[in-house]
């Protein structure tokens, strides 16, 4: 039950304050000692021409018929504080949580489809730290939408087309020896650029090779396909470790033969204008540079492919939402593409959403940079995190069984959590040591708290009737209130495409659990208290575990 919502409805039903200004003001109290939720009246002051103190007093005086879930209401310095019927709420919430069981099943299918374009790596380029955010934000949203009952389609829109492949082929046939790896491909690419500075004929050769790829020449295609295979093999290893999956790998090359209808439609709708031999859609009116559709040599562009791709997704999946989890550097690109779709008269253009995020860099990343290209590879970051975790485990808990598996879960989890936990749009400087701090606001802290719950439950299991009056003190009730907010929190994450709201929720839950754990002996001589506290521990454990799953974290039982 959404206790905030029904309390808000009650306040509005009084008709004392203006509805529009009142909605959205009610919040759960920061300090539960001041009631379970509160209405700060400051923002109402202007509309009502009254002081906040007078408004909250007036509201309190009007609340003579409290609904059953509210026990009392107090007016304190412009805040209206509500005290819930804690026993009744504990009963309701625990009932719901325990019915969800150990593994939370997805909600009833809602018949809606969301396409999510994420990770979208480039072939033959290193899978570097810059792809971390797209990969984990998209991967997490994929799980979150599925949990909420959507059909979610995860798409890796591969960067597998462009003149750079002509350059790579040139370098490969000139200098490439034997089996290639991602590193050797990068070296070839870097070498091409260096030598082409001295020798321009290399660029002509690169154009020739690219033409051969376009013409499906056997030798060119074989090499190009091989580069694709090598890249996918390498990134799949990382995806497996992160728990990332895709339903489609249709990338740029897939749309090679699907752009003509878009160009034709643009023409027939009089949107296409020639400009210096190229074809563009002018967006002057919308304060944007033009969207380039065809180059002067007739070649298509990134935007042309994305237009064809949007039509393909609409026709194939009939999406309700079409999300692109791509760095904010591409803000303009997506604004242009969506605008063109709108000008073409497609009403679903409004369902296409760019979900941007900031840049990630690594504190002290210099030591992790690759020799050529100066990029930090994601796999090196993950490996370093896992190695550091192994050292921590060897020091703190040398007896731990499955130490390697646990170190993998913690190390990977620390990196993933680090990328998800600040609000999307912020640039982040990632510190491995901070991400691995078991006492900080980190992935390992969540995992540690979950393992703590498991350890309690390995000593005793809850059973039978619950005495709900044992769950009404401040520390315990804070957990009840938090558990109740889980599904609503996940819905907000999906509305705002913002997994950091869920990471915050889980940290709050873990901190509240640890506070409860320190304040109370869970297992004691008091049978009723023990049983009730074990039930709440189980609900917290399940919520942490399932919540962590939605942000791609594993939850080892011991650590």
β partners of residue 137: none
Name which of 59 and 123 has its Cβ closer to ligand ARG.
Answer: 123
Of positions 78, 126, 159, 365, contacts ligand ARG by CB under 6 A: 159
Position 141 contacts ligand ARG (CB under 6 A): no
Are 522 and 454 a contacting pair, CB within 8 Å?
A: no
Name which of 122 and 140 has its Cβ closer to ligand ARG.
Answer: 122
Of positions 324, 468, 497, 516, contacts ligand ARG by CB under 6 A: 324
- What minimum distance in Å lies between the beta carbon of 482 and ligand ARG? 36
Name which of 167 and 545 has its Cβ closer to ligand ARG.
Answer: 167
Question: Which helix or strand (DSSP H or E) is residue 546 part of?
Answer: helix 527-550
Three-state secondary-structure class, residue 505: helix
Residues 6+ away with beta carbon under 8 Å from 554: 243, 409, 412, 413, 447, 548
Three-state secondary-structure class, residue 110: coil
How far apart are the C-alpha atoms of 469 and 466, rounded to whole Å?
9
Which segments within 346-476 are labelled E, that is strand? Answer: 352-355, 360-362, 428-430
Position 351 contacts ligand ARG (CB under 6 A): no
CA torsion 164-168-174-175 (nearest 10°) is: 140
Position 231 contacts ligand ARG (CB under 6 A): no
Position 186 contacts ligand ARG (CB under 6 A): no
Position 308 contacts ligand ARG (CB under 6 A): no
- What minimum distance in Å lies between the beta carbon of 340 and ligand ARG? 14
Q: Given its phi and psi angles, is residue 482 left (phi above 0), alpha (psi -120 to 50 degrees) or beta?
A: alpha
- What minimum distance in Å lies between the beta carbon of 196 and ligand ARG? 23
Query: What is the pairing mode between strands 113-117 and 321-325?
Result: parallel
Of positions 22, 120, 442, 543, contacts ligand ARG by CB under 6 A: 120
For ligand ARG, the binding residues in 382-441 under the rule CB under 6 A are none
- What minimum distance in Å lies between the beta carbon of 309 and ligand ARG? 6
> Residue 13 phi/psi, 5° resolution?
-60, -20
Radius of gyration of the chain (CA): 28
Residues 6+ away with beta carbon under 8 Å from 393: 400, 403, 406, 407, 410, 559
Please tell me the count of residues contacting ligand ARG according to CB under 6 A: 9
Position 165 contacts ligand ARG (CB under 6 A): no
Position 157 contacts ligand ARG (CB under 6 A): yes
Residues of 494-505 as b/e, b for ≥16 C-beta within 10 angstroms? beebbbbbbbbb
- What minimum distance in Å lies between the beta carbon of 353 and ligand ARG? 12
Name which of 252 and 498 has its Cβ closer to ligand ARG.
Answer: 252
Of positions 294, 323, 326, 375, contacts ligand ARG by CB under 6 A: 326
- What minimum distance in Å lies between the beta carbon of 341 and ligand ARG? 13
Of positions 85, 187, 205, 306, contacts ligand ARG by CB under 6 A: 306
Name which of 75 and 156 has its Cβ closer to ligand ARG.
Answer: 156
Position 117 contacts ligand ARG (CB under 6 A): yes
Place of tokens 């004691």: 524
Position 135 contacts ligand ARG (CB under 6 A): no
Contact residues toward ligand ARG (CB under 6 A) are: 117, 120, 122, 157, 159, 306, 309, 324, 326
């Amino acid at each position: 039950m959404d206790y905030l919502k029904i309390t808000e409805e009650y306040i509005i039903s009084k008709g004392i304050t203006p509805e529009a200004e009142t909605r959205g003001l009610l919040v759960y109290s920061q300090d539960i000692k001041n009631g379970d939720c509160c209405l700060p009246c400051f923002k109402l002051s202007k509309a009502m021409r009254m002081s906040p103190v007078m408004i909250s007093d007036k509201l309190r005086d009007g609340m003579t018929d409290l609904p059953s879930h509210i026990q009392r209401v107090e007016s304190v310095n412009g805040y209206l504080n509500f005290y819930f019927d804690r026993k009744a709420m504990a009963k309701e919430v625990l009932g719901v949580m325990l019915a969800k069981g150990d593994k939370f099943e997805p909600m009833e299918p809602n018949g809606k489809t969301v396409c999510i374009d994420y990770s979208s790596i480039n072939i033959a380029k290193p899978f570097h730290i810059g792809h971390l955010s797209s990969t984990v934000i998209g991967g997490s949203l994929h799980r979150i939408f599925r949990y909420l009952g959507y059909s979610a389609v995860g798409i890796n829109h591969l960067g597998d087309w462009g003149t750079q492949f002509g350059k790579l082929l040139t370098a490969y046939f000139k200098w490439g020896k034997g089996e290639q790896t991602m590193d050797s491909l990068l070296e070839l690419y870097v070498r091409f650029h260096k030598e082409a500075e001295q020798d321009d004929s290399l660029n002509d050769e690169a154009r020739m090779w690219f033409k051969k790829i376009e013409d499906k020449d056997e030798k060119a295609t074989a090499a190009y396909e091989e580069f694709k295979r090598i890249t996918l093999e390498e990134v799949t290893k990382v995806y497996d470790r992160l728990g990332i999956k895709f339903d489609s790998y249709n990338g740029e090359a897939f749309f090679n033969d699907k752009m003509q209808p878009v160009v034709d439609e643009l023409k027939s709708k009089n949107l296409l204008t020639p400009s210096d031999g190229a074809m563009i859609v002018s967006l002057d009116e919308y304060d944007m540079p033009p969207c380039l559709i065809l180059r002067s040599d007739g070649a298509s562009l990134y935007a042309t492919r994305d237009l064809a791709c949007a039509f393909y997704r609409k026709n194939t999946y009939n999406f309700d939402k079409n999300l692109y989890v791509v760095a904010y550097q591409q803000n303009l690109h997506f604004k242009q593409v969506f605008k063109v779709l709108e000008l073409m008269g497609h009403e679903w253009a409004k369902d296409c959403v760019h979900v941007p995020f900031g840049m990630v860099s690594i504190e002290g990343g210099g030591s992790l940079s690759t020799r050529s290209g100066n990029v930090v590879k994601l796999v090196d970051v993950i490996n370093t995190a896992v190695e550091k975790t192994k050292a921590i485990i060897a020091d703190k808990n040398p007896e731990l069984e499955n130490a390697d598996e646990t170190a993998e879960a913690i190390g990977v989890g620390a990196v993933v959590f680090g990328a998800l936990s600040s609000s999307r749009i912020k640039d982040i400087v990632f510190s491995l040591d901070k991400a691995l701090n078991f006492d900080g606001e980190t992935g390992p802290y969540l995992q540690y708290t979950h393992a703590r719950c498991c350890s309690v439950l390995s000593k005793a299991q809850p059973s039978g009737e619950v005495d709900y009056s044992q769950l009404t003190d401040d520390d315990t009730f804070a957990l009840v209130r938090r558990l109740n907010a889980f599904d609503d929190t996940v819905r907000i994450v999906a509305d705002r495409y913002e997994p950091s709201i869920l990471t915050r929720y889980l940290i709050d839950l873990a901190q509240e659990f640890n506070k409860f754990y320190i304040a109370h002996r869970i297992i004691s001589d008091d049978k009723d208290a023990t049983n009730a506290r074990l039930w709440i521990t189980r609900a917290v454990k399940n919520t942490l575990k399932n919540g962590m799953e939605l942000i791609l974290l594993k939850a080892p039982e011991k650590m």
